[in-house]
Structure 1
Amino acid sequence: MLSQLTIRNFAVVKSLDIEFHNGMTAITGETGAGKSIALDALSLCLGSRADANWVRPDQEKAEITAVFALEDASPAHQWLAENEFDADDDCVLRRVIQRDGRSKAWINGTPVPVSQQKSLAPLLVNIHGQHEHQLLLKEEHQLTLLDSYARHKHLLDKVQQDYKNWASVEKQYQSYQQQKEELEAQRQLLEYQVNELNEFALADGEFEELEQKHKRLSNSKVLLEAGVFALNALYEGEHNNASSLVQSASQRLAEAEEMDTSLSPINQLLQQAKVHIEEAALELRQYQDDLELDPGELQIIEDRLSAAIHLAKKHQIPGSELSQQHKKLIDELNNLEQAGEQAEKLDEDRQQARKIYRESALKLSTSREQAAAELSQKISSSMQELNMPHGRFVIQVEHDANARATRQGTDEVEFLVTTNPGQPIQALNKVASGGELSRISLAIQVMTATQKTVPTMMFDEVDVGVSGPTASIVGSMLQALGKSSQVICVTHLPQVAAKAHQQLQVSKSTDGAETETAVIALSKEQRVIELARLLGGDKVTDMAKANARELLAS
């Protein structure tokens, strides 16, 4: 619950320290005194937008601190622990607004983005504004109120997650469908190219081998002549071939060795040279035998080499890379074919995701229908208590299994009402007058508030348009609500204020130069005087005091 609110230099407030207690607290005061100032200040600690105009004139900054007492098992306490804040018995929210409009925020002494305060706020306080009945006419707000009463957050979360999953798969599928024609054309081209290369079947390294064979065969005559010349020069020539010359030289040195043995190593080299010459001659003979010109083989090689070069040009690559290009295209074709299989899987996935979403939406719809029936009955009863004896309220939930999917499901929710006998039940905005709408709004707020787990509820003049005996009933409703939650109510009705367990009075004073707002907790006797003022105006009579005491006693 909210235990303390400290306000410094905020609007017309110079300095305020307000203590709050359990039960129902009424805030009263003269018109224009600033009864809603505490709610405005607290809203800033709960993450509402800052405005430089909130800073008191001639001051550099406004500062608001709100202290909440927490139970260990409360959602707010768990939120603090999960977000690694000190989670003691208290939660302290602080907000500072600078003169230039900039603001800073803290949670339990730790600087935080305002968005984090805003995230924590729904776990601490629920504020019902005096214009709540205007929101009540909006369909999205009606749906929010019903879901809040139903307390089926787990079903809402499931629908939202299933919607997200379906949307993700659907997006992938639609993306593939948009590219389908382009991918199919690409697949057909790859298939043609791969078949062409499959048919040609160029092996790894074959292109280089073809080039080498072609070069040798196309120059075989020159190579043959070179071989004949070398063979004659080395061994088979009639005069002075290398083999006979080396042989002659070796014989002369062998004779000379008898006179000088140091020639022996040289002669050994000559003998080795003769062996190498003979081996070379033998290899040349074999080379000549193998080099016989075969025009048929040359033609075959030329044809295949030409075909390889032609294919390489088509793919704009060197011939030596044609084999690798073949493998690359096979991989690309396989990937495209796998993409087609994935598209089929995507179609199956989207159908399954759609089914799961529709099932979740139906469960959510069933829960809404059950909550709608229960809440309709409660609001109808409250309307009758609030001086609308023939009032009947119906929350209509229409579910369409084929309706457009949304994060909130596929239901259309509408609030219907009738307030007079014989009047057909119709949409809320077509039936209720301003006063009736205020009372209906109040009944809805009180009924939905009973389902909330938020420890503190604030009502800002939600009793506008209510008077007489109805006002007393409103006060009783809020008092009953204060037995299970902390209720803080800004009101102008003495019948409502009298039902409060505590009462705060807001007053405004001025010295002609400055205006200041004060808030004080009233004693029992002070409450009598304040209630008498609300009953009879500025002049507090004994009769008004007696009426005030009677209200308090009741």
Structure 2
Amino acid sequence: MLKHLYIKNFTLIDQLDIAFHSGFSVITGETGAGKSIILGAIGLLLGNRADSRQIKQGEKKCTIEAHFDLSNYGFEPFFEEHDIDFEPDDTIVRRELTATGKSRAFINDTPVSLQMMRALGEQLIDIHSQHQNLLLQKDDFQLNVVDIIAQNNKELTAYRSAYQDYKEAERRLSEVKEQISKAQENEEFMRFQFSELDSAGLIEGRQEELEQESETLSHAEDIKTAFYEADNLLNDDDNGVIRKLGQSLDSLGNIEKVYPKAQELAQRLSSVHIELKDIAGEVGSEVENIDFDPSRLDNINQQLDLLNALEQKFHVSTEKELIDIRDNIAEQLKNIDNSDEELELLEQEVKTKLAACEKQAEKLTGLRRKAIKTVEEQMSSRLIPLGIPNVRFKVELSPKPLSLDGADKVQFLFSANTSTAMEPVAQVASGGEIARVMLSLKAMVSGAVKLPTIIFDEIDTGVSGKIAQKMALIMQEMGNNNRQVISITHLPQIAALGSSHYKVEKEETVEGTRSHMCELNKEQRVSEIAQMLSGADVSDAALQNARELLDLIKKK
């Protein structure tokens, strides 16, 4: 329930700080006084789009803040899910808008996204404005009314899960069909490409090995000459390094006994001699191993030319990338070869998911059929006292292709007279009749939905007199049923029934036009209702009529 509303620097409002009460309240005021401005401010708390032009001219920031009592509405799970402190007796929702266009939202002083504010706002307040009467033209609104009365949330959730599974399976099937179709169109070309790559005998790392071997063979003579010269310098019988190093060892060995340090030097030189002999042996072997083979070089260069040509053709730079392309083509060809089996499996999955979805849809349809009887009975019983004694109201349920909300199309049929055929309500009902239908629908669903606050913005359009009073009684009944109902009205019959009465006025000041709202006391209510009865000139008779109307309401 909305307990308190604070508005600062919003369009024509300097500052509004006002308390609201439970039950049925009314807001009155002349056209253009600023009632829509207050609704616009509340709309920002419900997550509506903000515009910096809504900030009062000359100010840098506007603030809208509302306090709610949510102690009897089961909101704790929402706050736990979003990790927000839960203060059931005083939940604060605030929206701030700066002149630079920045908007910030808060729930209990915790910064939240606009999406989260909207999610909470939808559960806090329902604002019924005149444009909402157009909802009667929309199938989803009418279906939603039936679902609310059917209380089928559990079944609807299960159906939507099954429907999404079915659509996902259908999407996968369509995707695979498209892939197979494209692959089949290019099958011959892909087989040629695969054959070309496969016959190249691609092996990761082989290209580098071939390039190295080609480099070696291309310089075989130079390499052989270098090894031959090194071998000669190391192993020559007369002047080779190995022979001279051996002689040095012998010389040092001759003086080890008389010069001890020579022993250490001889040992070090011996280590070098051993290592050098080993190296000399390998150098000598390489002289024999290196041999120029023109045919081998030619074969290697042919393989490298083939790899380079393939890399250029497939726009890659490494053999590894060619291998990836070959393997990818192989996978596509495998899919083509196995496409019939894969399609059969996917088609069977779609059938299975469809059957599960249809089964859940049937459950929904059954619950909706039961709820339709309740809707028809309640709507007729509510519309008859509202001045439509011969009303006929029927809910037509017809099949439709599976969609996110089931396989049912709902349409409200209406006739105000026994002699006219029932037609869709939006097509045949007058403005006043549509207002009464919408009020009856709201009254009916409010009993099934735990919505703390409902605001009716001139739902009395097109009605007057006793009918207006009947509509007010319905709103009063809704307010007494653990709901807060606020009606913006121009009719004294409705205004008189409110347990609380607020007036919105506009005044011209030296600073410009200002709009403000206040709660009326008893005498002020008499004066306001008298003015609604008689117009600008309030006579004593009008005041007496206003008092009688208020007293009559109290007796009821």
TM-score by length of 2: 0.72
Distance in structure 2 (CA, Å) of the matches to 1:457 and 1:547: 25
Seen in structure 2, the aligned counterparts of structure 1 residues 513 and 191 have a Cα distance that, compared at 3 Å, is: closer
| Aligned counterpart, 2:461 | 464
Distance in structure 2 (CA, Å) of the matches to 1:326 and 1:437: 71
Secondary structure in 2 matching 1:412: strand
Superposition pairs for residues 359-398 of structure 1, below 5 Å?
A: 359-398=359-398
| Aligned counterpart, 1:510 | 508
Shift of 1:82: 0.7
Question: What residue identity is the alignment partner of 2:55?
Answer: V
| Aligned counterpart, 1:501 | 499
More moved, 366-375 vs 412-421: 366-375
| Aligned counterpart, 2:33 | 33
Secondary structure in 2 matching 1:422: coil
Q: Is the 8 A contact 1:475 1:499 kept in 2?
A: yes
Question: What residue identity is the alignment partner of 2:471?
Answer: V
The sequence identity of aligned pairs, in percent, is 31
Secondary structure in 1 matching 2:480: coil
Seen in structure 2, the aligned counterparts of structure 1 residues 532 and 549 have a Cα distance that, compared at 3 Å, is: farther
Shift of 1:93: 1.2
Secondary structure in 1 matching 2:413: strand
Q: Runs in 1 of length 4+ with deviation above 6 angstroms? A: 185-198, 325-332
Shift of 1:64: 0.5
Distance in structure 1 (CA, Å) of the matches to 2:472 and 2:179: 65
CA-to-aligned-CA distance 1:268-318 (integer Å, 9 cap, x gap): xxxxxxxxxxxxxxxxxxxxxxxxxxxxxxxxxxxxx9xx99xx99x969x
Question: What residue identity is the alignment partner of 2:463?
Answer: V
Question: What residue identity is the alignment partner of 2:363?
Answer: K
Shift of 1:328: 10
Distance in structure 2 (CA, Å) of the matches to 1:331 and 1:52: 55
CA-to-aligned-CA distance 1:146-185 (integer Å, 9 cap, x gap): 3344332333333333332222221221122123244347
Seen in structure 2, the aligned counterparts of structure 1 residues 331 and 475 have a Cα distance that, compared at 3 Å, is: closer
Shift of 1:195: 11
Shift of 1:359: 2.0
Q: Is the 8 A contact 2:396 2:411 kept in 1?
A: yes
Q: Is the 8 A contact 1:529 1:540 kept in 2?
A: no
Seen in structure 2, the aligned counterparts of structure 1 residues 316 and 370 have a Cα distance that, compared at 3 Å, is: same
1:78 matched to 2:77? The reply is yes
Q: Is the 8 A contact 2:73 2:450 kept in 1?
A: no
Question: What residue identity is the alignment partner of 1:520?
Answer: C
Shift of 1:462: 0.8
Seen in structure 2, the aligned counterparts of structure 1 residues 345 and 387 have a Cα distance that, compared at 3 Å, is: same
Q: Is the 8 A contact 2:159 2:406 kept in 1?
A: yes
CA-to-aligned-CA distance 1:52-83 (integer Å, 9 cap, x gap): 332222222221101112227613x3212211
| Aligned counterpart, 2:119 | 119
Secondary structure in 1 matching 2:26: strand
Query: Which one has a bigger Cα radius of gyration?
Result: 1
| Aligned counterpart, 1:443 | 440
Structure 2 counterpart of 1:430, from 423, 427, 436: 427
Question: What residue identity is the alignment partner of 2:165?
Answer: N
More moved, 14-23 vs 523-532: 523-532
| Aligned counterpart, 2:409 | 412
Question: What residue identity is the alignment partner of 1:437?
Answer: I
Shift of 1:534: 2.2
1:130 matched to 2:130? The reply is yes
| Aligned counterpart, 2:294 | none
Shift of 1:467: 0.8
| Aligned counterpart, 1:271 | none
Distance in structure 2 (CA, Å) of the matches to 1:407 and 1:327: 42
Distance in structure 1 (CA, Å) of the matches to 2:378 and 2:149: 11
CA-to-aligned-CA distance 1:378-399 (integer Å, 9 cap, x gap): 1122111110100111121102
Seen in structure 2, the aligned counterparts of structure 1 residues 192 and 60 have a Cα distance that, compared at 3 Å, is: closer
| Aligned counterpart, 1:236 | none
Shift of 1:8: 0.7
Distance in structure 1 (CA, Å) of the matches to 2:324 and 2:437: 76
Distance in structure 1 (CA, Å) of the matches to 2:175 and 2:494: 61
Shift of 1:526: 3.1
Seen in structure 2, the aligned counterparts of structure 1 residues 456 and 189 have a Cα distance that, compared at 3 Å, is: same
Secondary structure in 2 matching 1:136: helix
How many residues were matched structurally?
482
Q: Is the 8 A contact 1:187 1:333 kept in 2?
A: no
| Aligned counterpart, 1:550 | 552
Distance in structure 2 (CA, Å) of the matches to 1:127 and 1:415: 22
Question: What residue identity is the alignment partner of 1:88?
Answer: E
Distance in structure 1 (CA, Å) of the matches to 2:548 and 2:189: 99
Shift of 1:336: 5.0
Shift of 1:189: 7.9
Q: Is the 8 A contact 1:9 1:15 kept in 2?
A: yes
Superposition pairs for residues 291-370 of structure 1, below 5 Å?
A: 333=330, 336-337=333-334, 340=339, 341-370=341-370
1:17 matched to 2:17? The reply is yes
| Aligned counterpart, 1:295 | none
More moved, 473-482 vs 8-17: 8-17
Question: What residue identity is the alignment partner of 1:551?
Answer: I
Aligned residues: CA RMSD: 4.8
Superposition pairs for residues 148-187 of structure 1, below 5 Å?
A: 148-184=148-184
CA-to-aligned-CA distance 1:81-112 (integer Å, 9 cap, x gap): 21111112232111122234432222211222
Seen in structure 2, the aligned counterparts of structure 1 residues 332 and 67 have a Cα distance that, compared at 3 Å, is: same
Seen in structure 2, the aligned counterparts of structure 1 residues 29 and 196 have a Cα distance that, compared at 3 Å, is: closer
More moved, 405-414 vs 507-516: 507-516
| Aligned counterpart, 1:99 | 99
| Aligned counterpart, 1:520 | 518
Q: Is the 8 A contact 1:398 1:412 kept in 2?
A: yes
Seen in structure 2, the aligned counterparts of structure 1 residues 326 and 455 have a Cα distance that, compared at 3 Å, is: closer
Q: Is the 8 A contact 1:33 1:508 kept in 2?
A: yes
Question: What residue identity is the alignment partner of 1:470?
Answer: I
Q: Is the 8 A contact 2:432 2:460 kept in 1?
A: no
Question: Which stretches in structure 1 are left out of the alignment for 5+ residues?
Answer: 208-304
| Aligned counterpart, 1:490 | 488
Q: Is the 8 A contact 1:55 1:98 kept in 2?
A: yes
Seen in structure 2, the aligned counterparts of structure 1 residues 500 and 179 have a Cα distance that, compared at 3 Å, is: same
| Aligned counterpart, 2:87 | 88
Distance in structure 2 (CA, Å) of the matches to 1:45 and 1:139: 28
Seen in structure 2, the aligned counterparts of structure 1 residues 412 and 519 have a Cα distance that, compared at 3 Å, is: same
Secondary structure in 1 matching 2:66: strand
Question: What residue identity is the alignment partner of 1:505?
Answer: K
| Aligned counterpart, 1:2 | 2
Q: Is the 8 A contact 2:497 2:550 kept in 1?
A: no
Distance in structure 1 (CA, Å) of the matches to 2:345 and 2:179: 16
Secondary structure in 2 matching 1:413: strand
Q: Is the 8 A contact 1:128 1:445 kept in 2?
A: no
